[in-house]
A and B are shown apart, each in its own frame.
Chain A
Amino acid sequence: MAILVIAEHDNATLKLDTAKVVACAQAVGSEVDVLVAGHNCSAAADSAKQLAGVRQVLVADSAVYANAIAENLSQLIVSVASEYQYILAAASSVGKDVLPRVAALLDVAQISEVVEVVSEDTFVRPIYAGSAMATVQSLDAIKVMTVRASAFDAVAQDGSASVQTLDNEYSGDVEFVSQTLSESERPDLGAASVVVSGGRAMGSAENFAILEQLADKLGGALGASRAAVDAGYVPNDLQVGQTGKIVAPDLYIAVGISGAIQHLAGMKDSKVIVAINKDPEAPIFQVADYGLEADLFEAVPKLLELI
C-alpha cells in the first residue's frame, strides 16, 4: 500500500507538520514516500530523507513550484498518483489549496482534517467546529486526505530514504505577484509547545506587547482570536480556531478571550489550558484547566514578574 505525503516546506526548511503527516501515513501503511516540490529546495529534501521510515523522497525542483501554486502542484501530483493508493498532505494553507484540486482531477473525494486512522479505509474527522466527530469510510481507490498535524506525533529524524528526481514542469495561467510573510523570531504556531493568545479585550495592537513578552519568556508562539485579528491588533495568520490555525501545545494561555465555539475548535486539544478573563461566566473557563478571574492588565504584568 503505497502512500504519498506532500511535504510542507519553504524550500530551505522542512516544516514539522510533514513529520506529523508521515506519522499519520505510517498508521495506514509502511510504504511511505514524500514529495518535495519547490525551487532550490534541496535543503528541505535533505531533511525529508531523514524522516524515519520514509521509503523514498521525490524531488521536483523548478521555478514553477517555487510558490506552491495549486494549478502547477496539482498536475505534478496527479502525474505520479497512479503509483499510490493514498495521497496525504497537512491541512495547511497549501494542503487545503492543492489537495481538493488533486482529488477532483482523480475523480475521488477528499477527506479533510483527519485526526485518527481507524483502519485502511476508515478515518475520523471533526465536523461543526469540532462539535461532533465523523467516522468516515472511503470507497475510493485512491484516498486523498488532509491531515490535522496537531493530532499526530512527529516521526523521528534518523532515517535515510533514497531520492528520485521528477523533471516534469507543469505550469498554468496563474502568476505569482508577491508574498509578505510575518517575520518573527518566535516558533511557528503549529510547532510551538506554548501558545499565548489574546482576544478582543487586548484593546489595541500596542497592548499585545505584554503578551509578546509573555510568549517570549515561555519560548512560545503568539496567537489571537478572530475578534483581535479583525480589529487589526495582530496579523491574520495568528488566528486560532475553526477557520484559522488548529493548535495543540503543551500549554495554551487564553487572555481576554471569551471562548466561542469557533475559537475552542482551534485549541481545545491543548494539553494544559489557562484562561484569564474578568467574566466568571466566560465559556473559556469550561475548557480551562486553570482559570483566573482577573483583569488581564493587572494579571499579565504580574505573571511576567513571577515566571
Chain B
Amino acid sequence: MKVLVPVKRVVDANVKVRVNADNTNVDTANLKMAINPFCEIAVEEAVRLKEAGIATEIVVASIGPKASQEQLRTAMALGADRGIHVETEEELAPLSIAKILNAIQANEQAQLIMLGKQSIDGDNNQTGQMLAALAGLPQATFASEVKVEGEQLVVTREIDGGLQTLKMPLPAIVTTDLRLNEPRYAKLPNIMKAKRKPLDTVTVDSLGVTLKQHQKVLKVTPPAERQAGIMVASVEELVEKLKNEAKVI
C-alpha cells in the first residue's frame, strides 16, 4: 500500500512570531523553521504502518519555496521513501494546495493520504477535507487511532465531547490529531541516508493545475493586548478580589 503524506514548512512551534512593521504579514525573516508538528505526526504514522508491513512506500510532498526541501529531507530521515517538491513562492490558500495535491494523487494513486489536521501558521484546518472533496474520497479527520483492516480503514477521531470511530474503504484521507503518536527523532545515519533519497521538483503548471485567487489579506495586526493584572498575596485576598472587585463569584 502506498501512503502519500503532504507536509508543510512552518515557523517552529516554540518561536513567537510578530506582525511586521507595515501590517501586511507576520515577520518570518530569520526565524527557525520546521516541519508542521501535525504533519510530522502524519509522517510518523505512515512510518509505523510501513514498519508493521502494511505500507510499502511512503511519498512525501511539499508545496512552497525551495527551502521546503529541508522539511522533505526531515520527513525522509524519519522514514519516508521519496519526496515531491512543488516549488512556488506564492502563499497559497488551502483550496489551491488541495488542488495541487489532488493532481499529485492523480499521478500517485496512493491508497492512504495522511495530512496534519492544521498547520500552526494559518490555523486553517481545511486542506485534508478539501482534498477529500476534490478527490471524491472518504475522510476521517482529527485521528487519534488509525487501523488498516484489509481494504478497510478504521479510524478513531477526537470530537467535541469524546471520541468517534468510523470505518471506510480505501483509498481514504486521514488528518492527524495530537494524540495519534509521538514522532521519533531522526537518527544521524538516517539523516545522511535521507540526502540520497529521490526528490523530484515540479511546478504548479507542470501538474496542469490552474489556480484562482479566492481572497485578499487586507492587513495583519497584533491582537488586542490584555491589561496587566496584579499579584495577590494569599488565597484570602484572591477570594476577596473575585467577590468584590471582579464580581465573578
A187 within 8 A of B: no
The distance from the CB of A169 to the nearest CB of chain B, in whole angstroms, is: 17
Tell me, in angstroms, the Cα distance from A110 to B93 when the chains sit together: 9
In the complex where A100-B130, A174-B167, A236-B158 touch, is A131 in contact with B139 (Cβ < 8 A)?
A: no
The distance from the CB of A50 to the nearest CB of chain B, in whole angstroms, is: 23
* Binary contact readout A268-302 vs B (1 if CB under 8 angstroms, 0 otherwise): 10011110000010000111111111100001001
Indicate which residue in B168, B220, B242 contacts A174 across the interface (CB closer than 8 Å). Answer: B168
Stretch at the interface among B46-54, B70-78, B103-111, B228-236: B228-236
Q: Are B223 and A122 in contact (CB under 8 A)?
A: no
In the complex where A70-B141, A290-B242, A291-B232 touch, is A112 in contact with B125 (Cβ < 8 A)?
A: yes
B179 within 8 A of A: yes
Interface size on A, residues (CB 8 A): 91
In the complex where A182-B161, A274-B242 touch, is A242 in contact with B123 (Cβ < 8 A)?
A: yes
Q: Are B229 and A134 in contact (CB under 8 A)?
A: no
Query: What DSSP secondary structure best describes chain A's contact surface?
Result: mixed
* Binary contact readout A239-279 vs B (1 if CB under 8 angstroms, 0 otherwise): 10011010000110000000001100000100111100000
A218 within 8 A of B: yes
List residues of chain B with CB within 8 A of the CB of A67: 164
In the complex where A103-B95, A307-B239 touch, is A133 in contact with B130 (Cβ < 8 A)?
A: no
Query: What DSSP secondary structure best describes chain B's contact surface?
Result: mixed
CB-contacts of A51-71 with B (<8 A): 67, 69-71
Q: Are A137 and B229 in contact (CB under 8 A)?
A: no
Q: Are B134 and A104 in contact (CB under 8 A)?
A: yes
Q: Are A303 and B139 in contact (CB under 8 A)?
A: no
Tell me, in angstroms, the Cα distance from A159 to B11 when the chains sit together: 47
Q: Are A139 and B231 in contact (CB under 8 A)?
A: no
Interface centre among B95, B123, B157, by most chain A C-beta atoms within 10 angstroms, is B123
Q: Are A104 and B95 in contact (CB under 8 A)?
A: yes
17 contacts between A and B (CB under 8 A): A71-B139, A93-B157, A100-B94, A100-B130, A107-B95, A110-B126, A112-B125, A127-B26, A128-B26, A129-B120, A137-B215, A175-B167, A190-B160, A243-B177, A250-B248, A273-B226, A285-B229
